[in-house]
Amino acid sequence: MSRTPRKYDEHLDKTPANFVPLTPVQFLERAAHAYPDKIAVIHGQRRYTWRETYARARRLASALTKRGIGKGSTVAVMASNTPELYEAHFGVPMTGAVLNALNVRLSADDIAFILEHGEAEILFTDREFSTTVRKALEKLGTPIPVIDIDDPEAGGVGERLGEMDYESFLAEGDPAFAWTPPADEWDAITLNYTSGTTGNPKGVVYHYRGAYLNALGNVAAWGLNHEIVYLWTLPMFHCNGWCFPWTLAALAGTNVCCRKVSADAIFGAIVDHGVTHFCGAPIVLGFVINASDAERRPFDQTVNVMTAAAPPPAAVLARMAAEGFKVTHAYGLTEVYGPATICAWHSEWDALDMEEQARLKARQGVRYPVQEGMMVAHPETLEPVPWDGETMGEVFYRGNITMRGYLKNPAATEKALAGGWFHTGDLGVMHPDGYIQLKDRSKDIIISGGENISSIEVEGVLYRHPDVVACGVVARPDDTWGETPVAVVELRDGATVTEAELIAFCRENLTHYKCPRDVIFDALPKTSTGKIQKFLLREHVRRLIAAGEA
Amino acid sequence: MSRTPRKYDEHLDKTPANFVPLTPVQFLERAAHAYPDKIAVIHGQRRYTWRETYARARRLASALTKRGIGKGSTVAVMASNTPELYEAHFGVPMTGAVLNALNVRLSADDIAFILEHGEAEILFTDREFSTTVRKALEKLGTPIPVIDIDDPEAGGVGERLGEMDYESFLAEGDPAFAWTPPADEWDAITLNYTSGTTGNPKGVVYHYRGAYLNALGNVAAWGLNHEIVYLWTLPMFHCNGWCFPWTLAALAGTNVCCRKVSADAIFGAIVDHGVTHFCGAPIVLGFVINASDAERRPFDQTVNVMTAAAPPPAAVLARMAAEGFKVTHAYGLTEVYGPATICAWHSEWDALDMEEQARLKARQGVRYPVQEGMMVAHPETLEPVPWDGETMGEVFYRGNITMRGYLKNPAATEKALAGGWFHTGDLGVMHPDGYIQLKDRSKDIIISGGENISSIEVEGVLYRHPDVVACGVVARPDDTWGETPVAVVELRDGATVTEAELIAFCRENLTHYKCPRDVIFDALPKTSTGKIQKFLLREHVRRLIAAGEA
C-alpha cells in the first residue's frame, strides 16, 4: 500500500462551497426564510414579522451604503430597547460597518468622547435622549449626520435633532439589498464602550466570529429553542444585549421590546405576549419581587431569568421560584461578549433546600460552551489557584468569545490579553467542584443598576475639589441598584465643605448615576507608601454601615 | 477630529487569548469539568461518568500517541454503538489523527478497500465483526496493528483478531494526557466513506470547524438542552452519528448505547433510562410502530425522534404521536455532516389534521442554522428554480457544514463542489414557503435501512454474470427497510438463469444488504444512444408493483 503522509493536506482546500466566514447576520436571513410570517419583534402597538425585520434591516443597510457607510465606518445608535436598535444589529454589519450602541444613561461628555473616539460617521438617536445628545453633538469637532428615532411609545418627549427620522431613512433603502458576509470573520462587528478600570471609556471591539458563536453559546448554555419569547429587560447597548439579538434570530424566536423596565412592563409582557425568558441585573429581579399586588398578574408558563452582576440571594430565589420564575446565574464582562460563565444547574440540586440551592447558585459557575478556557489564577504568574473554595485569584478567560481588543489602545489591549489570557480584574475562588465564585469585584468597579462605575473616575472628580486631600470610592450594597458608590474623603485642615456640596460638585462633573450617594469624612487606610488600600477601605465602610454610622 | 480609517485593522490581532481553533473535543473537557459525576454513557451494565469518559478518551489518545499515531494518521474503528466508538470521537482527534468509523455491514472487500484507501494505521474492531474483518485484513498489502473491542454485551460472539483488547490498550495510556486543539480548525477530524454515486466508496473528509458547528447546529435546530438522554439507534459510523457524539458532550447530556436496534431495546431504554431523543432512518420508526404488545412499555415523557432518508407517512406520524413520540423530519448527506436540512415546525401547524401535518412534514424543509446556504437549482446553470413546488431541480448546499472534499480524489471533489456549491445529486422542488421537498433521490442511490446503496455498483456485479446483457437497479418502497433494490434485467438469447440464481450470484460478490431482493426480466427503457433511462425504469417498476406483477 502506498503511503501518502500529506493526504489530508492536499486537494482539500477551502472553497466557497465549504467555507463561509461566520456572521450572525445569516441567522436573520434564515429566520426570514423559515418563519417569514412569525412575529419577530413586538413593541407597543407595532409588530414586525421576520420577513419584515429582514427587509427593514436590509433597507437600513442599503440606505447607509448609499451614504458611503461601509467597512471601517462606525455607526452609533443612542436608543432604548426598540425595534430600531434590534434592526441595527443586523443592518449595520450588512454594510461591513461597525455598530456602536451607546449607553443611554451616559453624560453628554461621555457620549461626545465616545463619538469622537469611535469616529462615528452617523448617529441614530431616540428623541427621548435629545437633551444629552444635543449637548454631546455641540462638543464634536466635526458635525456628523443625525437621524432621529421617533418612537410612538416614547410619549412624544424630547426634540428632533436630525435631518430626518428613521422611517424616512429606511424608505431610502432597498429591501432586497444584497449584503455579503464579511471578508474575514475576524472583522469588527460591534464596538462597545466600557468604563473599565480607568476613567476614560475603552472601546471593546467584537468580531463576527465571537458574535456568531456566542449567539449559539446562549442557546446551548441556557437550553433555548424556537419557542422562546424574549423580553428585552437587559439593555441592547450592554454588550449587545449579551448577544441575544443574534440568538433570537438563530432560533427565530420572538423579541418583546421594552423602553422602560418596570414591574408593570414585565408582568404585562409575560401575560400578554407569553414571555418565556428575560435577562438582567439584580435590579430587574427586584422589580418582580417588589411588585405591588396591582402590578402583579398571574401566568401559567415558567419564565426563565438569567441574571448577572451580583448573586441572587436565597430569599429572592425562593420568592421568584414560588412565583413561576426560574433564575439562572451568569457572569461575564463586556470584553467576553456578556455572559461567558454560567452556574450550570445540576438536576439533583433541585432536591436541596432553598438556602442550599441559593448557596450553590451564588457561584458564578463554569465557562460557556463556546469559551474555551476559564481559570482563577495568580494575577501575575497566571498559576491556577487550588480548587479549595478559599484561595483568591483573578478570573481569566481565553477563547473565541473574547474581544479583539480595545480600539486605538494597543497598550490597554496588550495588558488585558497578556500571557494568552484575558485578565478580568475580578477576584474569586475556585470551588472543589470546578465552579468559580467571585469574592470581590475588580478593585475599581462598582456595579450600579447593571452599569459599571469606575471608582477611579469618581475619585478623579473629587480630587478636583479644592477641599479634598484624599479620597477613595467604594461600593455599598443597595437593595435597588445592587451597589451604589460611597466616597470616603479626607479634607484639608479647616475645610468646611459639606456632604451635600461634594455630591453636588460631582453631579456637575459626572454622569448622574456615577455620583456618590454618600460621602463619609474619615481617615483612609493607606500603605506605607501612601497608596490607599481599597480592600481595607471597603471593610471599613462595611463596618460603618453595620454600625449604622453610614 | 483625526480620522483613522484603518482603526479596526490595527492593533487588534489574534492572540491565544481571543482565538482558539474550533474543536468539539473541548466540549468533552467542559462536560467533565461541569458535570464530572453525571452519567455520560450507559451501555448494558456499564456506566461511565463524564469524568470517566474524558479520562478514557485521554487514555486512548495517549496510548495512540505512544504508537506514533498523530497528525496525518488514520485510525479505523469497526464497532457498533458502544462506549469505545463514542470515546474514539474524542480520543482520536486529541492525537491530531483522523477517525475513520467503518460501516459494520460492509463486505470484507469494501472494508479492505477502505482500510487501504484511507491508509489506516491501526484498527479497533469489535469481536462480533471478526469474520468480515479477518477476511479484510488478509487482503491488505501491509498488515496493521489490530485492537479488539471485547464488549460483554455482544454475548461472546466472534473471535479475537488483535494483539490485545481495548481495555488493555487504554491501560497503556495516561488519563491526564495533555491534548491540544488542532493547529488549524480546517484540519481533518474524521473520514467517512460513502458509496456515493459510483461503485468505489469515496472518503468524505470532515474538518474540525464543521464538526464543532454542527454539534451546536443540532442543539439550535432541534432545541436541545442538557437534560437530553439520547439513545443511539443511529449508527455512530454513519456521518459520525450526525455529529451527535459531539452534541451530547456540548450539552453534557447522557448517551444510551445500543448494539442492536429493536423494539425491545427502544422501549426498554425509554423506560429504564428516561430516553428523550433518538434518531434514525424510517426503519427505526418501524420498530416502534410494529412493536408487539409484549415489547411495548408505557412511559410518561415525550420522546423526540429525528428521522431522515424518507418522509414519514401520515399513518406512522399519527401512530407515533398517539404513543408519545414527536417526529422531526430532516435531510442530509454524508458530505454535509448528516442533517443539514430540517422540517422546522411551525406551532400553528399543530392545529391541522394529521394528514395535513404529514403533508407538511413530508417536506425536508429549510437549512440548518449552521449551514449558510441551500437551494434547488438547475444542475448545470445553478439557476434557482421558481418556488412553485413543481419545478424540479438539484439540491445544492454551501456553508460551514460541508466536507473539505473526497480523500485522494481531486476530480470528484472538484466536481462535487463546482461553482461554489455542493452538488447533492438529489432532485427536488422548492415550495412557495421556502421548504424543499425531494422528489427523487439521486438517480443512483437506493436507501435501505438508512444505508446508501449505489445502484451502479450492484449493476456492475450483475453485468459480470455471463447471461446478463443489460440491467438497471432501482429502489422499490419497502415497509421495513424504506427501500430495497430491485433489478430489471435483459438476458442474452437462450439464457436460462433464474431470479434466485442471479440473487445468489450477487450475494457472492456484494455486501448482503446491497443485493437485489427482486429480479424482473424485462426490456429496459433506453435513450437513442442506448443509455438506460432510470426515471422511466422506476416508473415502469412502480407500475409493475402496483399491478402486482413484481
What is the reported pLDDT for B196? 46
b or e along B178-213 (b: 16 or more beta carbons within 10 Å of the residue's beta carbon)?
ebebbeebbbbbbbbbbbbbeebbbbbbbbbbbbbb
Contact A18 B402 (CB under 8 A): yes
Contact B367 A30 (CB under 8 A): yes
**Mutation site, A12, A18, A39, A346, interface B, largest B CB count within 10 A:** A18
Contact B366 A34 (CB under 8 A): yes
In this prediction the ipTM stands at: 0.86
Q: Residue range B23-40: average pLDDT?
A: 98
Contact B417 A17 (CB under 8 A): yes
CA-nearest residue of chain A to B419?
A17
Comparing C-alpha atoms, which of B361, B360, B368, B388 is closest to residue B376? B388
Instruction: Count how many pairs of residues, chain A against chain B, have C-beta atoms within 8 Å.
Output: 207
Contact A142 B225 (CB under 8 A): no
Dihedral, A320, A321, A324, A325 alpha carbons, nearest 10:
60
What is the reported pLDDT for B441? 59
**Mutation site, A1, A3, A8, interface B, largest B CB count within 10 A:** A8
SS3 content of chain B, % helix, strand, coil (to 5): 35, 25, 40
Contact B8 A98 (CB under 8 A): yes
Cα–Cα dist A207/A240, whole Å: 12
3-state secondary structure of B9: coil
Q: How many residues does chain B have?
A: 550
What is the reported pLDDT for A530? 58
Q: Report chain A residues whose CB lies below 8 A from the CB of B15.
A: 417, 420
Apex B381 CA angle, A29 and B527, nearest 5? 130
- To the nearest whole Å, the CA of B526 is away from the closest chain A CA by 35
Contact A400 B20 (CB under 8 A): yes
b or e along A295-318 (b: 16 or more beta carbons within 10 Å of the residue's beta carbon)?
beeebeeebbbbbbbbbbebebbe
Q: Which residue among B18, B344, B399 places its CB closest to the CB of A20?
A: B399
Element of type H or E holding B110: helix B108-118
Cα–Cα dist A161/A145, whole Å: 10
Name the pLDDT band for B20 (thresholds 50, 70, 90): very high
3-state secondary structure of A507: helix
The per-residue pLDDT for range B261-316, each reduced to its tens digit, is 999 999 999 999 999 999 988 778 888 888 899 999 999 999 999 998 777 777 77
- Cell readout for B259 is 448494539
- Cell readout for A71 is 467597512
- To the nearest whole Å, the CA of B442 is away from the closest chain A CA by 19
Contact A346 B35 (CB under 8 A): yes
Element of type H or E holding A314: helix A314-322
Low-confidence ranges of chain A (pLDDT < 70): 1-2, 195-199, 440-444, 527-531, 550
Cα–Cα dist B542/B37, whole Å: 55
What is the reported pLDDT for A533? 75
Q: Give burial (CB, 10 Å; 0-12/13-18/19+) of B172.
A: middle
Q: Report chain A residues whose CB lies below 8 A from the CB of B397.
A: 17
Comparing C-alpha atoms, which of A125, A117, A114 is closest to residue A88? A125
Q: Report chain B residues whose CB lies below 8 A from the CB of A365.
A: 34
Least confident of A118-122, B142-146, B249-253, B350-354: B350-354
Name the pLDDT band for B492 (thresholds 50, 70, 90): confident
Q: Report chain B residues whose CB lies below 8 A from the CB of A405.
A: 11-13, 18
3-state secondary structure of A221: helix
CA-nearest residue of chain A to B404?
A12
Comparing C-alpha atoms, which of A78, A81, A32 is closest to residue A179? A32
Contact A402 B17 (CB under 8 A): yes
SS3 content of chain A, % helix, strand, coil (to 5): 35, 25, 40
CA-nearest residue of chain B to A224?
B223
Do residues B456 and B534 touch, judged by C-beta distance below 8 A? no
Cα Rg of chain A, angstroms: 24
CA-nearest residue of chain A to B31?
A369
CA-nearest residue of chain B to A32?
B434
Q: Report chain B residues whose CB lies below 8 A from the CB of A220.
A: 216, 219, 250-251
B482-491 sheet: strands from edge to edge: B468-478, B482-491, B518-521
Identify which has the larger pLDDT, A261 or B454: A261
Q: Where are the domains of chain A?
A: 446-546
| DSSP 8-state class, residue A525 | P
Contact B30 A225 (CB under 8 A): no
The one-letter code for the residue type at B16 is P
- To the nearest whole Å, the CA of B98 is away from the closest chain A CA by 9
Contact B33 A421 (CB under 8 A): no
Least confident of A285-299, B113-127, B209-223, B515-529: B515-529
What is the reported pLDDT for A454? 75
Do residues B229 and B256 touch, judged by C-beta distance below 8 A? yes
According to DSSP, the β-strands at A229-231 and A277-280 are: parallel
Q: Report chain A residues whose CB lies below 8 A from the CB of B419.
A: 17
Least confident of A92-96, B354-358, B518-522: B354-358
CATH architecture of B445-546: 2-Layer Sandwich (3.30)
What is the reported pLDDT for A316? 77
| DSSP 8-state class, residue A191 | E
Contact B14 A186 (CB under 8 A): yes
Q: Which residue among A34, A119, A434 places its CB closest to the CB of B4?
A: A119
Q: Residue range B94-99: average pLDDT?
A: 98
Q: Residue range B59-85: average pLDDT?
A: 97
Q: Give burial (CB, 10 Å; 0-12/13-18/19+) of A420.
A: middle
Q: If you average pLDDT over every residue of chain B, what do you get?
A: 92
Cα–Cα dist A189/A171, whole Å: 24
**Sign of the alpha-carbon dihedral angle for B32, B36, B40, B43:** positive
The per-residue pLDDT for range A27-85, each reduced to its tens digit, is 999 999 999 999 999 999 999 999 999 999 999 999 999 999 999 999 999 999 999 99
Contact A34 B205 (CB under 8 A): no
- Cell readout for B18 is 481571543
What is the reported pLDDT for A231? 98
Q: Which residue among B186, B188, B400 places its CB closest to the CB of A20?
A: B400
- Cell readout for B205 is 473528509
Name the pLDDT band for B531 (thresholds 50, 70, 90): low
Q: How many CA atoms lie within 13 A of B70 on its CB side?
A: 7
Contact A8 B72 (CB under 8 A): yes
Query: Does residue B443 have a pLDDT over 80?
Result: no
CATH number for the A446-546 domain, one of 3.40.630.10, 1.20.1560.10, 3.40.30.10, 3.30.300.30? 3.30.300.30
| DSSP 8-state class, residue A159 | -
Do residues B211 and B181 touch, judged by C-beta distance below 8 A? no
- To the nearest whole Å, the CA of A545 is away from the closest chain B CA by 38
Do residues B114 and B203 touch, judged by C-beta distance below 8 A? yes
Q: Residue range B386-406: average pLDDT?
A: 95
3-state secondary structure of B366: strand
